[in-house]
Amino acid sequence: MFGRRIALGLAVAASLATAIPVQAGFFKDLVDNMQLEQGPLGNLGNGSGSGGSSNRTSGGGGLNLNLNLTPGGSFYPEQVNPSRVPGRQFKRQVVNFKTDEKAGTIVINSRAHYLYYVLGDGKAVRYGIGVGREGFGWQGTVSVGRKAEWPTWTPPPEMIAREKARGRILPASMDGGPKNPLGARALYLYRNGNDTMYRIHGTSEPWTIGLNVSSGCIRMVNNDVIDLYNRAKVGTKVVVL
């Protein structure tokens, strides 16, 4: 207990000294690992983590989703130390889950970085996830419009322009594979029959689970998204809190 208090104190001091924004769970990751270098930014000296900040009030193809709801600090994926190990709480597990949603529904708690697949009888499979950076969070009810294995990644024009402004050139398209940002599987989220441009997908950066790092999509480790893919059918209801 005394050691954990020391680690927490050092984490707070380091964050204040470097003016790096933090998010819920950031200090917990540091204290759980008992090593400061295991935090999202490694040595805490890699620059500000506040990226993609915007005041978007509409999006998702004009489908009236509530955006910009992701709390706390956020990071570009390249700012996260690849040696970071997400906390044990983000491991896939069956948990008690009280909900009025029917079995087979997906419920996403962005603030806690959890995705639940409702089993019924007060149980759900809980997965750890990465969610949208500041300005890229959203909330609403959608459905799985289609699914794909080892999907092709086609970044939208606005993402290509945004990343170009940061000095990062994205391809017009990338075939599916281990290095593809969408990972092993993708569930495409639709509303009223229209593609929201948001996905639940795997990732080639498993160390980012538990953080606010995406442009609005929900990322999972590949083994977890494969498990979810096998459970969820096209038409599955998805509630993003």
pLDDT digits (tens, 9 = 90+) for 33-61: 333 333 454 433 333 322 333 333 333 44
Region of 12 please: left (phi>0), alpha (psi -120 to 50) or beta. Answer: alpha
Residue numbers annotated as active site: 201, 217
Residues, the chain, total? 241
Residue 215, pLDDT > 90, answer: no
Residue 73, pLDDT > 50, answer: yes
For residue range 126-151, list pLDDT tens digits in order. 999 999 886 677 899 999 999 999 99
Residue 42 lies in a domain: no
Domain count, the chain: 1
Global model pTM greater than 0.75 = no
Token reading at 27: 């200090």
For residue 100, what is the domain's CATH number? 2.40.440.10
Mean pLDDT of 85-92: 96
The whole-angstrom separation of Cα 188 and Cα 174 is 17
Residue 166, pLDDT > 80, answer: no
* Structural domain span for residue 69: 51-240
Token reading at 134: 């500041």
Residue 1 lies in a domain: no
Residue 72, pLDDT > 50, answer: no
Burial profile 67-102: b = 16 or more Cβ within 10 angstroms, e = fewer: bbbbeebbbbbebbbeebbbbebbebeeeebeeeee
Residue 41 lies in a domain: no
Residue 62, pLDDT > 60, answer: no
Contact 218, 129 (CB under 8 A): yes
